[in-house]
Amino acid sequence: MANFVGFDDAQTAILRADLEAARQVAADAARIPLDTATLLWEAFGIDGVDPDRNQVDRVRSVYEGFAAGMARATLVFYPGMGNASAAEFDSFPDRTRPNTILVRSSYFLKAPCDRALTLLHHYVHLRFPQNLGSGHPGRDAPALARGPLRVAFDDASRNPYCYEYFARFLRLVEPLCYRQ
């Protein structure tokens, strides 16, 4: 399990539940159901008519690595609320410390399903710390609205927004809003 630094007991309990929810989301997304051709194309640029098995396997392996990857992570309380207009204002990877995610108080104000997706997003940042891909295509799309992200596969396969998008629109996430 991940390490927690600077959180009170209630925050730690929420983070543990969020990590479990995110693990479930990642496991569900790793199954990559056959009826997701359009979603694979939108999120990763994978041809939905004739998907490249190697590309699908690369995406699957990232989701499958979530539990082990986050077991090595350290989540650190970061004071302040952050600027809501800034990307990732409530939590973000610490670029100076490997496998570290900084979490502000405002993180705990999000809905449980959004917190789970946030942790999945940050895991991909931790997995690909030197990602020089296309950045954050989600930054230009309001709340990750449904539609193609237009990121080439080589970049999409390392892009946190692409993984978050795919998991969000698999429709596997919504029940998490009601489990907790």
pLDDT of 19-70, one tens digit each?
Answer: 999 999 999 899 987 778 889 999 999 998 888 999 999 999 999 999 999 9
Helices (H), 31-65: 37-44, 53-64
Domains and CATH numbers, the chain: 3-179 (3.40.390.10)
Write out the two tokens for 20: 């479990």
Predicted pLDDT at 35: 77
pLDDT at 173 over 70: no
For 5-18, b/e burial (b = at least 16 CB within 10 A) is eebeeebbebbebb
pLDDT at 139 over 60: no
Q: Give the pairing of strands 74-77 and 100-103.
A: parallel
Residue 163: closest CA among 34, 35, 29: 29
CA atoms within 13 A on the CB side of 175: 7
- % of the chain with per-residue pLDDT over 70: 84
pLDDT at 140 over 60: no
What is this structure's pTM?
Answer: 0.88
- Give the C-alpha separation, 118 to 107, whole Å: 9
Higher local confidence (pLDDT), 156 or 33: 156
Q: Band of the pLDDT at 178, cuts 50, 70, 90?
A: very low
| Distance spanning both ends of the chain, measured CA to CA | 19
| pLDDT tens readout for residues 72-119 | 999 999 987 777 666 667 899 998 999 999 999 999 999 998 999 999
